[in-house]
């Protein structure tokens, strides 16, 4: 993890949502910070134990990104959770049910 430095850093947001709760945390990160650094600094790993940093599925502004992706000022890091149902399968079931 990158340690916070005095000066030269910038702010990003880290977002995570479940059906019952949403979290958006502003984090000050140092120059050279990566996506995983912002996630670790956000405290969301401790707050939501289901997030596995070893198998992190995340993105920046809705675009999938690797854990080692460098961050830029004002980025919004989004932590994704697995889909419970395949959207294509649900559409198929709805279409079949409607005739």
Write down the CATH superfamily of domain 10-98: Beta-grasp domain (3.10.20.30)
SS3 29: strand
Q: Please state, in angstroms and as integers, the Cα–Cα distance from residue 66 to each residue in 12, 21, 50, 94, 96, following that order.
A: 16, 25, 19, 34, 37
Taking the domains of the chain in order of start, what are their residue ranges? 10-98
Residue 5's pLDDT band (cuts 50, 70, 90): very low
SS3 45: helix
Nearest to 27, CA basis, from 79, 80, 66: 79
Instruction: Encode pLDDT of 59-94 as tens digits.
Output: 999 999 999 999 999 999 999 987 777 778 888 888
pTM for this model (two decimals)? 0.78
């Amino acid at each position: 993890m990158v340690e916070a430095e005095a000066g030269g850093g910038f702010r990003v947001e880290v977002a995570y949502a479940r059906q019952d709760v949403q979290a958006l945390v502003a984090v000050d990160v140092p120059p050279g910070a990566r996506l995983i650094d912002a996630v670790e600094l956000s405290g969301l790993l401790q707050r939501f134990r289901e997030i596995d940093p070893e198998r992190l599925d995340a993105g920046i502004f809705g675009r999938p990104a690797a854990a080692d992706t460098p961050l830029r000022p004002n980025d919004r890091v989004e932590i994704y959770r697995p889909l419970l149902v395949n959207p294509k399968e649900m559409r198929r079931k709805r279409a079949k049910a409607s005739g």
